[in-house]
């Protein structure tokens, strides 16, 4: 076994970067596989051995690996989260803080309009999702270079991407329903809907957050 040169390592990374691999886990797995395999051959066989690896891990193969990993992690996350949605399994103080916050919305309502309550109802959930992005290291990865690509943690795609459409539709239904009820003098029903939605939304976000080990960024087994 030999140590690869800086140029050889750069050649491997350039190949993987060109593949636009979606997930950091797949990128690291392939980088490790390339490195381990190429360390076993002499420098004069580096190019030919790397070509074999390039063919073995063609674009279509890598795309399939990305898809399979996402499906696996999504399934694991769904099972873990369904268990934690039994809120008595969540941390008592965290659950209490959500119910306390929801109760405070009723107090705030006496001083502000329904619009303010609707906004405040999703603030805790929004904060939890931002915390996930922060811990994952996927924040502030903007670049003006059109060829720039940065693999991300698969757990972020599983946690946020899968539910983005559902949450957007649910949020739209909730906001429109609350405003319609309020405009037709069903203000109490609008407030009740806001309180119920806020409680569910924030418990859901908490279960999502609690399903993920923030040290390893893996899904906790249910």
pTM (2 d.p.) = 0.71
Return the residue matching tokens 């309550």: 117
pLDDT score at 152: 80
What is the arithmetic mean of pLDDT over 211-220? 71
pLDDT score at 40: 93
- Whether 62 and 56 have beta carbons less than 8 Å apart is answered as no
Question: pLDDT tens-digit profile of 79-120?
Answer: 887 777 676 667 778 788 888 888 887 777 777 766 777 777
pLDDT score at 165: 60
Residue spans of the domains in the chain: they are: 6-57, 75-219
Least confidently predicted of 14-28, 90-104, 152-166: 152-166
Question: CB neighbours (10 Å) of residue 2?
Answer: 12
Sign of CA dihedral 122, 211, 72, 53: positive
- % pLDDT > 90, the chain: 25
pLDDT band for position 32 (cuts 50, 70, 90): very high
């Amino acid at each position: 076994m030999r140590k690869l040169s800086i140029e050889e390592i750069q050649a491997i990374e350039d190949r993987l970067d060109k593949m636009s691999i979606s997930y950091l886990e797949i990128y690291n797995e392939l980088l490790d596989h390339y490195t381990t395999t190429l360390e076993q051959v002499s420098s004069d066989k580096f190019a030919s051995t790397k070509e074999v690896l390039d063919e073995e891990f063609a674009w279509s193969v890598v795309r399939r690996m990305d898809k399979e990993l996402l499906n696996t992690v999504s399934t694991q996350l769904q099972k873990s989260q369904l268990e934690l949605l039994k809120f008595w399994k969540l941390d008592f103080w965290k659950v209490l803080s959500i119910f306390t916050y929801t109760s405070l919305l009723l107090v705030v309502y006496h001083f502000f309009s329904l619009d303010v309550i609707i906004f405040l109802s999703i603030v805790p959930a929004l904060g939890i999702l931002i915390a996930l992005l922060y811990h994952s290291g996927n924040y502030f990865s903007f670049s003006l270079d059109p060829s720039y690509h940065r693999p991300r943690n698969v757990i972020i795609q599983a946690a946020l991407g899968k539910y983005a459409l559902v949450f957007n539709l649910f949020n739209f239904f909730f906001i429109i329903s609350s405003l319609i009820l309020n405009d037709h003098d069903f203000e109490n029903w609008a407030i009740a809907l806001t309180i119920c939605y806020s409680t569910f939304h924030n418990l859901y976000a908490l279960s999502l957050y609690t399903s993920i080990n923030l040290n390893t960024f893996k899904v906790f087994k249910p």
